[in-house]
Amino acid sequence: MYRYLQIRRDGAVEHVTLNRPDVRNAFNDEVVTELRQWAEGLAEDPGVRVVVLAGAGKVFSAGADAAWMARMAEASEAENEADALATTAMLRAINTLPVVVVGRIHGAALGGGSGLAAVCDIVIAEEGAIFGFTETKLGILPAMISPFVLPKIGVSHARALFLTGTRFTAARALAIGLVHTVVAAGQLDAAVADVVREALTAAPTGVAAAKRLIPQVAGRSPEDVAALTAKTIAAQRVSPEGQDGLRAFLEKRQPGWVPQ
């Protein structure tokens, strides 16, 4: 159904793998369209609770396809902007998926590849993986990914890394908040499986509500968000999953959403 994505469903877990290994999973307009369609479809699918985003072949993703970017010189300004907005829409669609999105990073995540890591909730990287906001090395800049990267790494690291385009290690990606766990070579799939198992013990509606809440609360004072946070917990604790989870704890049993 997709040319550049491999999709595999395993119960409530959807594995989506970028599949353009000959160009190191660089993404062009077709990949962007496919990722957006996939994410928008998934957002409507109540059967999925966790997504694992990975790359086929040697690396996770080499970012935007340089040939595609170079070709945009032939397009009008309006076409150029529409094309960039389509990338933003794709990133936003993944960023706002109401499920846990796990990034599985091996080899390299460069440019937009690091941008894709930034729209994941939990990123697990192999220790040899390299990262980088390398766009300025190619004469362009990390524009569409910036609103997704900044909340992860902050202004200080963004300034240092965007302006130099330097490549950096998984250890540094961990230190700045782009990555959450670094594992030894060969341990990536086991680490991803652990985090997937953990994620499946969290209530789906609680996960979706928490994911919606975080960007609404970020950067605001407790006073500013008091009404919102009160409304959110008031609705969740009386909801079927809120009630099941609280009562399950008190009754020393598993709530209904935990896989048997």
| Contact string (CB under 6 A) for ligand COA, positions 161-200, x = contact | ----------------------------------------
Nearer to ligand COA, 63 or 255 (CB): 63
Q: How far is the CB of 88 from ligand COA (least distance, A)?
A: 15
Of the pair 5, 62, the CB lying nearest ligand COA is at 62
- CA dist 61 and 101 (Å) reads 16
# chain residues binding ligand COA, by CB under 6 A = 18
Rg (alpha carbons) of the chain, rounded to whole number:
19
Asked whether position 34 contacts ligand COA by CB under 6 A, the answer is no
Contacts with ligand COA, 86-125, as mask; x by CB under 6 A: ----------------------x-xx--------------
- How far apart (Å, rounded) are the C-alpha atoms in residues 112 and 132? 9
The residues that touch ligand COA, with contacts defined as CB under 6 A, are 23-24, 26, 58-59, 62-67, 108, 110-111, 134-135, 138, 140
